[in-house]
Structure 1
Amino acid sequence: MNRPASSRPALATFGAPREDDALALVGLTVAYRVRGRERDVLTDVSLRVRRGEAYGLVGESGCGKSTVALAALRYLPRNGRVKAGKIAVAGEDVLALDADGLRTLRANAVSMVYQDPAGALNPTLTVARQLSEAFEAAGADASVARSRSHAMLERVRIADPGRVLASYPHQLSGGMQQRVVIAMALASNPALLILDEPTTGLDATVEAEVLDLIAKLRAELGMAVLLISHDLAVIGRMCERVGVLYAGRLVEEGATRDVFERARHPYTVGLLRCLPTRGRNKHAGALDTIPGELPAPGASAPGCIYAPRCRLADARCREQAPPPHRMASVHGEQMSRCHYHERAIELPFAAPPEAPRTSQGAVLNGESEPRVVLRALDVSRTFGHGAQAVRALDGVSIELHAGETLGLVGESGSGKTTLARLLLGLHAPDAGGAVELDGKRLHARVARRRAGERAALRVVFQHPDGSLNRALPVKRLIARALARPHDGAPPTHDASDESRIAGLLEAVRVPARYLAARARQLSGGLKQRVAIAQAFAGEPRIVICDEPTSALDVSVQAAILNLLARLQRERDVSYLFISHDLDVVRYLADRVVVLYAGRVVESGPAAAVFDGPWHPYTETLLAARALGESSANGTPLAPPRGCIFRAHCPRKLGAICDEAPPPLADAGGGHRILCHIPIAELRALQDAEKDIRAAT
């Protein structure tokens, strides 16, 4: 049946911009000049985002996603230029605009939200001043700008606009900062909103809130969205169509459901297989990965650019560049640059390494208990004094066993990172709490710990810039971490360091060509890989991983998770793994602890925690990830008399939750839940709700 012209699916390739395009790129080629030579980073890219449409752009770090966004804004760095092609935003020929025209376009037609909201906000100005400037740039006078600022914060679902307007950026949470940045981007009522990794680093509930906000605002304002993300789940939830970039080339495009259900390019198939799937963990074997690495920028090959990494490639692929094949799919037209697009879905799996075995140190048998290597005993941590005091941790006790992974989950502000810093000796616990290593009490301050104790615990931070000296080359960064400290003696090196450096970088998939590169020259994903190699260089017994894969694309994430599982199997190393990605925690963790407002509300074996019954807070976390629904939770600044989750609990019983602290109930097998609702009743309620969701 023929569709009306207005509802026909967008063509995968086309020759010119159209009237209903919010963004159109036609044959776009962009090059950067590096060391006197131009290197193409985008090659013949054609895509269109229709007015009111959400279009997702995915691919590995370095494939050119952000360059597409910068080119659309004509905001390329000084060493970048458009070599060929056309760019149109809301009908305007971007490349033909003079300085005034370009300023007008950026002020009125297109806005961009960057990955790190803190980097987009001026720390010395209040939110009111910065948001007012956005309205003033769009033509409003100062008084109108102030009133519109208040209304815009309400529009982005900020409950107390007055307080937020009077705040400085550092006084707001990451999710709140991102809402402010979105409000600034919407000040001009743009036809096109470009979002570059807007939810990276956000926990599941805040991510759901931000995505839900963007979807509602898109419906209200009728604007188009170009969403750049390495999170395929976010793309699948938010976008009608998706484009897949590889080494600066658009290799697949189509309706999101078509591409995700039956990918037509081996690279897309590989990306989708890298995702940890529900019900699978590290003991079932390694995740599938994409072999090899992205070609260097500007690299050219006579055949398919993906052939060196493709398990379907043959002589034809290496000699002939594939044209854009177009085919009809269920929800529209699909395009693939692959000679064998009909059987791309049959791509052979990578030969997995030996399936990981459960570490003997973590096995519970009838003869012995698992050996505890790290323990926190009733630790609390209070920041501030008097009326301004905030208790970030309140009576937390955890145990980490030899050779196991303990997953730590919870919203931003729940105390996860505070607990990690306390274990590392970067924070001291309040009086009465203690941290033990191998049953021996550790000094509260890292500077007072012995060298061997410091070497036993290493950390991988969420933001690699916090742990890497940006001025040093990669080789020296790893070499410094390889130095073997001894009490009372300077660090030493030996002749095997060169091969160990090469082995570490190969394990975390950092190409050898980056050995001489300085940290500031690396992409975010590459910096995180170097930080992980640095943490493992000293052969620690315990590694605290604080959101180590949040900045990585799915292919590198899969390789890192496989690496962590292999190192654990081979070296009996233990992990405290902090992450907002519950699918990653489900895959890697042996046991899970759920924190809310600085308290442990649930703990137990990973399978039990993820399969239920759940604490009502855990239930909201899982629902937010699975359904994209916001729990609308807030973390209280001070714990109440009763249950700390009472104000947001969907299963609140009544006065007992307000007045009495809940008991720690045993759900069996080491699974414990801090809740007034009896375990059997909690299980029945949640099973009934699962049945209703399955039926609808």
Structure 2
Amino acid sequence: MSAASRRAHPAYEPASFAEDDALAVLGLTVAYRVRGRDREVLHDVTFRVRRGEAYGLVGESGCGKSTVALAALAYLARNGRIKAGRIAVAGNDVASLAPDALRSLRARTVSMVYQDPSRALNPSLTIGRQVSEAFEVAGDSRSDAHAHALAMLRRVRIAAPERVMSCYPHQLSGGMQQRVVIAMALASKPALLILDEPTTGLDATVEAEVLDLVAKLREESGTAVLFISHNLAVIGRMCSRVGVLYAGRLVEEGTVEDVFGAPRHPYTVGLLRCLPKAGRSKDSERLDTIAGSLPPLGAAVSGCVFAARCRLADDRCRSETPPPHRFNAEHGPQMARCHYHEQAASLPRAAAEPSLGEAMSGETMRAPHDIPASLALHAAHLSKTFDASGVPMRAVDDVSLDLAAGETLGLVGESGSGKTTLAKLLVGLVAPDRGGTLELDGKPLPAHVARRDDEQVKSLQIVFQNPDSALNRAHSVKRLIGRALSKLGALRGPAHGARLATLAQAVRLPSRYLDARTRQLSGGLKQRVAIARAFAGDPRVVVCDEPTSALDVSVQAAILNLLADLQRERGVSYVFISHDLHVVRYVADRIAVLYVGRLLEIGPARAVFDGPHHPYTEALLSAMPTFGGHTLPSKERIRLTGDPPSATAPPTGCVFHTRCPRKLGAVCEQLDPPFSDAGEGHRIRCHIPVIELRTLQRETQIA
């Protein structure tokens, strides 16, 4: 690379700060003091985020992404310290700032949206007070701050913001809390906005709106963004450059087009191969995985830190630390810390891992020929009405669906659409209103789990969206999984220990965590424990409520492969709830679309995704972040007007007419549309004829 090229790109001047840096991290090494020893979590990390730029930071949980953000704000835990390196925010050397100057920097220059919104909100203050306070710190009067807080809540797509202003954090869902935190972070129009997994709890439409809001803020005020996420499609949409962290080292950096389109480090190649590809399904392609796990915190590693998991590694990799190889890629400078970076694209695919069924030696397995070919689960006319301060709220409204043996039904819709309530109705955690019926394998299923026998309980299991709500924080992982094995699998002695080890291996849970308490685990590790516990018996149906939302793409791929393996071997059926429509398209055989408790569309996955589809489904699909290698195509998004209606007062006629971009008129406002048959079991609940929907949606795609 020429001297001129190096001067043109400030990343090649690691010794000093540049004038156009919103954030400069130079040679950063951070260690935590644990049991009398310094354990390094970041090692010699250098990157820059220029003013007005969006820079993505990706990598698995435990790679050090959040530590970078906390170090930039001087928010490291008490046992954490910067051993080497420098950090500057908007030209201010963070380490040299006096306490008052540091507080001013945090209030006016840099804002951060944390991964867990519940820990960023004060449980004793209303939402209105907390959001208003953010504007007051930025210089507003109390009356102006209240008005601006209300407007900001509307901008981040919070329904009924006046009501939310008077709520406390515990009264909001995780997605609502995240939107509140984003609103607070945007109050000061900061020079640098740090987003740490900001869209984890958001559905596709709200995620798209929030990302649009962040992009607009960048355009209007020149705000720079450090975007930390395991959602590579979101990084591809939002960022111009990206850095890849592994075990505290920056192993690759460059433009998004180059790093995602032509990666030069085996770790980046592995991450990208873990993603479900458009048009592929569990039946056509097994997801690639990255074998093994991250080295323990602070472990001394000779040679390349990724060598133990790399399928290109040789003796040189295990003995010599690779330098940062820098070169000009198609769209700009690129760096990769790999001896064989030119061969990264030829990385062999992972060999298929032993299936869970093979490892269990058939002891409790149901042989494939014993699996009935009939319906596994039948639900008819399920409704659920809750009391909301004396007002009836119908969370699920007359939903009927069937689930065949060995089938996956994807359940999609925005937050508040009734997906989780429907899941709880199916597993008996909530009893439906009168008139609803459930059947398991053709036999009546009691509405409430307390009235189900042991066989029915173990045959219908659930994996919850939030593992903290399902796992006892005081118990060890071994005890949590072991108790489920004893109760659901009826295993004792050596068989119990062997099955426990097999389950842990199947969900990629390292054995060193078996003696840990769940309070010591990351969100992704907790979810793995919850999944292992759900499969401890011999379930016929597993309801998966956002089972991979907290997982890295590498672990997500392993979990999705596991679900597919179990389905092929045992005919287990899934109801799979997710905001990630890419994952739903990969794993689902059929898809059901819910909106404000109503079923608007149901049919084969390919038919629902390819169309024709309900206008609401059309909006959901258009909000999906696209990911396309060298090019990141920008499809025109269908923007929904207004807020989702409250389940306490749903609209008359078609429940979607208040937001529908294809509304016909009075017929939509007055009459509830019937289901129309689009062929092959594909049904759409809309007044617009199927043939007209197909024509309209084809025209939109062409335009």
> What range describes the TM-score normalised by the shorter chain of this pair?
over 0.9
Higher mean C-alpha displacement, 656-665 vs 304-313: 656-665
Counterparts of 1:500 and 1:68, CA distance in 2: 39
Distance change (3 Å), C-alpha of 1:97 and 1:526: same
2:504 is the counterpart of 1:499: no
Distance change (3 Å), C-alpha of 1:191 and 1:588: same
Counterparts of 1:144 and 1:285, CA distance in 2: 55
Instruction: Give the equivalent residue in structure 1 for 2:362.
Output: none
Residue 157 of structure 1: CA displacement? 6.2
Counterparts of 1:204 and 1:362, CA distance in 2: 37
Contact 2:471 2:530 in 1 (8 A): yes
Instruction: Give the equivalent residue in structure 2 for 1:333.
Output: 333
- Deviation by residue 1:637-673 (Cα, 9 ceiling, x = unmatched): 2333321111222222222222222121111111111
Residue 176 of structure 1: CA displacement? 4.3
Residue 399 of structure 1: CA displacement? 1.0
2:130 is the counterpart of 1:130: yes
Residue 196 of structure 1: CA displacement? 0.5
Instruction: Give the equivalent residue in structure 1 for 2:387.
Output: 384
Instruction: Give the equivalent residue in structure 2 for 1:612.
Output: 611
Contact 1:394 1:598 in 2 (8 A): yes
Contact 1:53 1:223 in 2 (8 A): yes
Instruction: Give the equivalent residue in structure 2 for 1:689.
Output: 700
Counterpart of 1:482, as a letter, is L
Contact 2:384 2:395 in 1 (8 A): yes
Counterparts of 1:348 and 1:523, CA distance in 2: 30
Contact 2:406 2:567 in 1 (8 A): yes
Q: TM-score, normalised by structure 1?
A: 0.93
Residue 620 of structure 1: CA displacement? 0.8
Residue 355 of structure 1: CA displacement? 11
Residue 15 of structure 1: CA displacement? 1.9
Instruction: Give the equivalent residue in structure 1 for 2:448.
Output: 445
Instruction: Give the equivalent residue in structure 2 for 1:669.
Output: 680
Distance change (3 Å), C-alpha of 1:105 and 1:544: same
Residue 108 of structure 1: CA displacement? 1.9
Residue 48 of structure 1: CA displacement? 0.8
Counterparts of 1:288 and 1:225, CA distance in 2: 31
Instruction: Give the equivalent residue in structure 2 for 1:309.
Output: 309
Instruction: Give the equivalent residue in structure 2 for 1:653.
Output: 664
Residue 153 of structure 1: CA displacement? 4.2
Task: Indicate the SS of the match to 1:389.
Answer: strand
Counterparts of 1:613 and 1:147, CA distance in 2: 42
2:572 is the counterpart of 1:577: no
Higher mean C-alpha displacement, 40-49 vs 604-613: 604-613
Task: Indicate the SS of the match to 1:282.
Answer: coil
Contact 1:621 1:631 in 2 (8 A): no
The runs of 5 or more residues in structure 2 that have no matched partner are: 358-365, 627-634
Counterparts of 2:128 and 2:554, CA distance in 1: 41
Contact 1:286 1:353 in 2 (8 A): no
Instruction: Give the equivalent residue in structure 2 for 1:556.
Output: 555
2:537 is the counterpart of 1:526: no
**Matched ranges for 1:39-78 at <5 A:** 39-78=39-78
2:464 is the counterpart of 1:461: yes
Counterparts of 1:648 and 1:314, CA distance in 2: 58
Distance change (3 Å), C-alpha of 1:157 and 1:522: closer
Contact 1:12 1:334 in 2 (8 A): no
Instruction: Give the equivalent residue in structure 2 for 1:631.
Output: 640
Counterparts of 2:604 and 2:367, CA distance in 1: 15
Counterpart of 2:438, as a letter, is V
Contact 1:12 1:333 in 2 (8 A): no
Task: Indicate the SS of the match to 1:214.
Answer: helix
Residue 167 of structure 1: CA displacement? 3.5
Counterparts of 2:150 and 2:202, CA distance in 1: 25
Instruction: Give the equivalent residue in structure 1 for 2:361.
Output: none
Task: Indicate the SS of the match to 2:396.
Answer: strand
Distance change (3 Å), C-alpha of 1:370 and 1:666: farther
Contact 2:86 2:93 in 1 (8 A): yes
Residue 240 of structure 1: CA displacement? 0.9
Give the superposed CA RMSD: 2.8
Counterparts of 1:67 and 1:386, CA distance in 2: 43
Higher mean C-alpha displacement, 447-456 vs 390-399: 447-456
Counterparts of 1:310 and 1:371, CA distance in 2: 44
Contact 2:158 2:643 in 1 (8 A): no
Residue 320 of structure 1: CA displacement? 1.0
Counterparts of 1:419 and 1:159, CA distance in 2: 21
Q: TM-score, normalised by structure 2?
A: 0.92
2:415 is the counterpart of 1:412: yes
Counterpart of 1:530, as a letter, is V
Instruction: Give the equivalent residue in structure 1 for 2:630.
Output: none
Counterparts of 1:162 and 1:588, CA distance in 2: 39
2:24 is the counterpart of 1:21: no
Counterparts of 2:455 and 2:518, CA distance in 1: 28
Task: Indicate the SS of the match to 1:45.
Answer: strand
Task: Indicate the SS of the match to 1:28.
Answer: strand
Instruction: Give the equivalent residue in structure 1 for 2:342.
Output: 342
Counterparts of 2:356 and 2:592, CA distance in 1: 23
Contact 1:285 1:352 in 2 (8 A): no
Instruction: Give the equivalent residue in structure 1 for 2:271.
Output: 271
**Matched ranges for 1:129-528 at <5 A:** 129-138=129-138, 140=140, 142-150=142-150, 152-153=152-153, 156=156, 162-172=162-172, 174-352=174-352, 370-384=373-387, 388-484=391-487, 493-528=492-527
Instruction: Give the equivalent residue in structure 1 for 2:690.
Output: 679
Higher mean C-alpha displacement, 309-318 vs 114-123: 114-123
- Deviation by residue 1:266-317 (Cα, 9 ceiling, x = unmatched): 1111111110001111111310111111111112222111111111112221
Task: Indicate the SS of the match to 1:472.
Answer: coil
Distance change (3 Å), C-alpha of 1:421 and 1:642: same
Task: Indicate the SS of the match to 2:678.
Answer: strand
Match of 2:654 among 637, 643, 647: 643
Instruction: Give the equivalent residue in structure 2 for 1:596.
Output: 595
Contact 2:133 2:145 in 1 (8 A): yes
Residue 151 of structure 1: CA displacement? 5.1
Counterpart of 2:129, as a letter, is R
Counterpart of 2:543, as a letter, is I
Task: Indicate the SS of the match to 2:620.
Answer: helix
Counterparts of 1:599 and 1:16, CA distance in 2: 58
Counterpart of 1:288, as a letter, is D
Counterparts of 1:546 and 1:560, CA distance in 2: 14
The runs of 5 or more residues in structure 1 that have no matched partner are: none
Task: Indicate the SS of the match to 1:373.
Answer: strand
Distance change (3 Å), C-alpha of 1:582 and 1:628: farther
Contact 1:456 1:541 in 2 (8 A): yes
Distance change (3 Å), C-alpha of 1:317 and 1:263: same
Counterparts of 1:632 and 1:171, CA distance in 2: 25
Counterparts of 2:621 and 2:154, CA distance in 1: 27
Counterpart of 2:206, as a letter, is V
Contact 2:157 2:209 in 1 (8 A): no
Residue 345 of structure 1: CA displacement? 1.6
Count of residue pairs the alignment pairs up: 682
Residue 164 of structure 1: CA displacement? 3.9
Residue 470 of structure 1: CA displacement? 1.0
Counterpart of 2:375, as a letter, is V
Task: Indicate the SS of the match to 2:283.
Answer: helix
Counterparts of 1:92 and 1:113, CA distance in 2: 21
2:578 is the counterpart of 1:567: no
Counterpart of 2:503, as a letter, is L
Contact 2:26 2:85 in 1 (8 A): yes
